[in-house]
Amino acid sequence: MIVAVDGPAASGKGTLARRLARHFGLNYLDTGSLYRAVALRALTAGADPADPAAAVAAARQVEVGDLDDLRLRDDKVAQAASVVAAIPGVRAALLAFQRDFARRGEGAVLDGRDIGTVVCPDADAKVFLTATVEARAMRRFKELQARSAAAIYERVLQDMKLRDARDRERHTAPLVRASDAFELDTTALDADAAFVAVLRFIGERRQRR
Ligand code: CDP
């Protein structure tokens, strides 16, 4: 079984996808960490993340070991990730890895922006999470505080709006709900309630198939 979980930043994708993977005994891939790894490699090399040649070269060098780097969570890296993610060559370089991962073993849960539309258009179940930008910025702000990273709510909100716009407006694989995805607004839902709602959707979908 392949489950696609898409949505904007801090909509609850990671928490939900990890939990679904554990529940169904599937592998889990946070595809955002691939774009973050590309961005981190470009930044570390002193390159401009918007430079297609440098970004594509970085994408070709990304390895599984890169995905554990704590610096991937930095906000600077998140911004640069959405810049490299708009470059078609970067997306192309990361596509085969994601598709191979999805097909391995019993299947997988992947979270990202384009899993249901581009990476796994034939996924058995697709979920699209949303939440107001204010609620998402507050979640990210609290995450940053918990990591004792210096954070200012207004700044986090501003950065999130910027990244949302970049992700939605790019030409290649923009952030958009797949027509057959179950859309869930998590603004007023906690992680448990979101999990229960999605489990019900997957159960119904499997019965129909
Ligand atoms: O954790 P958060 O939701 O803030 O971001 P992320 O999922 O780690 O993704 C970081 C950036 O990578 C996003 O802003 C997107 O620009 C890009 N991304 C993408 O283009 N396609 C994906 N499948 C996953 C992430």
Mean pLDDT by 10 residues, the chain (209 residues): 97 97 98 98 98 98 95 93 97 98 97 98 98 97 86 94 95 96 97 97 89
Shortest-distance Cα residue to atom 14 of ligand 1 = 82
Q: Which atom of ligand 1 is nearest to the CA of 160?
A: 4
Nearest CA to ligand 1 atom 23: 112
Within 8 A by CB and 6+ apart from 203, the residues are none
What's the 188 CA to ligand 1 centre distance in angstroms?
Answer: 22
Cα(153)–Cα(41) distance, integer angstroms = 27
> What is the atom index within ligand 1 of the atom nearest the CA of 82?
16
Q: 2-208 architecture in CATH?
A: 3-Layer(aba) Sandwich (3.40)
The whole-angstrom separation of Cα 169 and Cα 176 is 10
Q: Residue 148's pLDDT is what?
A: 73
The CA distance from 123 to 121, in Å, is 6
Q: What is the pLDDT of residue 208?
A: 83
Note the pLDDT of residue 150: 83
| Residues counted in the chain | 209
CA dihedral 15, 20, 23, 24 (to 10 degrees): -150
Q: What is the pLDDT of residue 206?
A: 85
What residue ranges line ligand 1, CB within 6 angstroms?
9-10, 31-33, 35-36, 78, 81-82, 85, 112-114, 163, 167
Minimum CA distance residue for ligand 1 atom 12: 32
In the chain, what are the domain boundaries? 2-208
**Model pTM score:** 0.95
DSSP letters of 90-113? Answer: HHHHHHHHHHHHHHSTT-EEEEES
